[in-house]
């Protein structure tokens, strides 16, 4: 295959045993190392920087330090460093199945109309999740589809997740150029321990705005390693606030679908039901409301004011059945 690929791992104070499993899965890839490069971005690690031997085994591997804290600055640095025509963003707790990179290149070659895509993500839990958390495990970027799924309508559901996200170079460069002038969009993703999210969707939306599509393909499989500290009630409450904050902020920026305001009947029904919720569910509801309130208080003209807790149409829209 002539199409070259760049694997970009962004990490901040990584758990070393998880990062090693991520790197070991890359060592086992069926795609020859001559066809891809490995870029490990150390994003302002303070307590546990990644060791250099994580990349020394790869003939085109290198460790790059990005001092601006945040997943988005780390990804932008990876984009600027990458030379491949297809960029694959791998989290530091992702274990790719051996054929992942080969399949990614095959999809990119066979489907030039897809600008960003990913695959199925299965969780591997350090401890069994509590029963009441099971309905919310998809918040941990777990995803399962039974058939290939693609399109470029803004209401496409589900979208690929950031774990193992594959992005064409032209989309990544467009995204990077836009964020150089639209600084508020640089605050849409995680910074250190803050559970803000949304950068993945922002990147995917960039592809759609270029007239390309997004997709999830069953030939792409990875395992997400989930530590015990992410399986607590407190963590899910923080996630509820962070996701609500992100969704509201993206809607204000025109980077997601804006949902119509709740009717008074809906608000009344929610008020009546609230006392009957369990303690955990009430905490989630209150955290979600808090995140929305914080996002509405943000001054979009001044990104430094952001707390840590109507859209453009695509040039064309298509769905799987049209192709």
The predicted structure's pLDDT at residue 302 = 61
Res 271 pLDDT > 70: no
Same domain as 294, residue 161 = no
Last residue of a domain, one of 230, 248, 264: 230
Asked if residue 318 belongs to a domain, the reply is no
The predicted structure's pLDDT at residue 244 = 86
Average pLDDT, the chain: 86
Asked if residue 313 belongs to a domain, the reply is no
Same domain as 272, residue 212 = no
Boundaries of domain holding 156: 5-230
The predicted structure's pLDDT at residue 142 = 95
Same domain as 243, residue 224 = no
Please report which confidence band the pLDDT of residue 274 belongs to, taking 50, 70 and 90 as the band edges: low
Asked if residue 9 belongs to a domain, the reply is yes
Same domain as 288, residue 240 = yes
CATH code of the domain in which 56 resides: 3.90.550.10
Averaged pLDDT for residues 53-58: 94
The predicted structure's pLDDT at residue 307 = 54
The predicted structure's pLDDT at residue 320 = 52
For the stretch 112-159, pLDDT in tens is: 999 999 999 999 999 999 999 999 999 999 999 999 999 988 888 899
Any idea which residue has 């919720």 for tokens? Answer: 277
Distance between alpha carbon 150 and the CA centroid of its chain, in Å? 17
Res 165 pLDDT > 50: yes
Res 297 pLDDT > 90: no
Same domain as 278, residue 132 = no
Label each residue of the chain as H, E or C. Answer: CCCCEEEEEEECCCCHHHHHHHHHHHHCCCCCHHHEEEEEEEECCCCCCCCCHHHHCCCCEEEEEECCCCHHHHHHHHHHHCCCCEEEEEECCEEECCCHHHHHHHHHHHCCCEEEEEEEEEEEECCCCCHHHHHHHHHHCCECCCCCEEECCCCCCCCCCCCCEEEEHHHHHHHHHHHHHCHHHHHCCCECCECCCCHHHHHHHHHHHCCCEEEEEEEEEEEEEECHHHCCHHHHHHHHHHHHHHHHHHHHHCCCCCCCCCCHHHHHHHHHHHHHCCHHHHHHHHHHHHHHHHHHCCCCCCHHHCCCCCCCCCCCCCEHHHC
The predicted structure's pLDDT at residue 257 = 54
Same domain as 154, residue 34 = yes
The predicted structure's pLDDT at residue 279 = 86
Same domain as 284, residue 222 = no
Res 104 pLDDT > 60: yes
Asked if residue 311 belongs to a domain, the reply is no
Res 88 pLDDT > 50: yes
Same domain as 165, residue 269 = no
The predicted structure's pLDDT at residue 258 = 45
Please report which confidence band the pLDDT of residue 313 belongs to, taking 50, 70 and 90 as the band edges: very low
Q: How many domains does the chain have?
A: 2
Please report which confidence band the pLDDT of residue 251 belongs to, taking 50, 70 and 90 as the band edges: confident
Res 1 pLDDT > 60: no
Please report which confidence band the pLDDT of residue 197 belongs to, taking 50, 70 and 90 as the band edges: confident
Averaged pLDDT for residues 256-262: 54
The predicted structure's pLDDT at residue 311 = 31
């Amino acid at each position: 295959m002539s199409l070259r690929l760049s694997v970009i791992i962004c990490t901040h104070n990584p758990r070393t045993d998880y990062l090693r499993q991520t790197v070991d899965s890359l060592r086992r890839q069926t795609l020859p190392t001559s066809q891809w490069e490995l870029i490990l971005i150390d994003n302002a690690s303070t307590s546990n920087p990644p060791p250099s031997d994580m990349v020394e085994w790869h003939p085109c591997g290198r460790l790059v330090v990005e001092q601006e804290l945040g997943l988005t600055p780390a990804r932008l640095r990876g984009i600027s460093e990458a030379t491949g025509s297809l960029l694959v963003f791998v989290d530091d707790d992702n274990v790719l199945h051996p054929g992942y990179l080969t399949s990614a290149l095959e999809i990119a070659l066979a489907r030039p109309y897809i600008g960003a895509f990913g695959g199925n993500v299965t969780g591997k839990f350090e401890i069994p999740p509590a029963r009441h958390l099971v309905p919310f495990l998809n918040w941990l970027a777990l995803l399962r589809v039974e058939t290939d799924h693609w399109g470029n309508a803004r209401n496409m559901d589900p979208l690929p997740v950031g774990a193992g996200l594959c992005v064409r170079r032209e989309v990544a460069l467009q995204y990077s150029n836009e964020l150089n002038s639209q600084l508020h969009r640089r605050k849409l993703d995680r910074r250190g321990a803050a559970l803000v999210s949304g950068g993945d969707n922002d990147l995917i939306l960039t592809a759609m705005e270029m007239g390309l599509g997004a997709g999830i393909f069953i030939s792409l499989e990875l395992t997400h390693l989930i530590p015990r500290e992410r399986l607590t009630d407190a963590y899910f409450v923080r996630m509820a606030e962070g996701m609500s904050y992100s969704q509201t902020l993206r809607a204000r920026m025109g980077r997601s679908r804006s949902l119509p305001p709740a009717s008074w009947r809906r608000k009344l029904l929610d008020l009546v039901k609230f006392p009957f919720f369990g303690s955990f569910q009430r905490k989630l509801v209150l955290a979600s409301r808090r995140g929305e309130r914080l996002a509405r208080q943000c001054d979009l003209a001044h990104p430094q004011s952001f707390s840590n807790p109507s859209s453009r149409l695509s040039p064309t829209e298509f769905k799987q059945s049209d192709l």
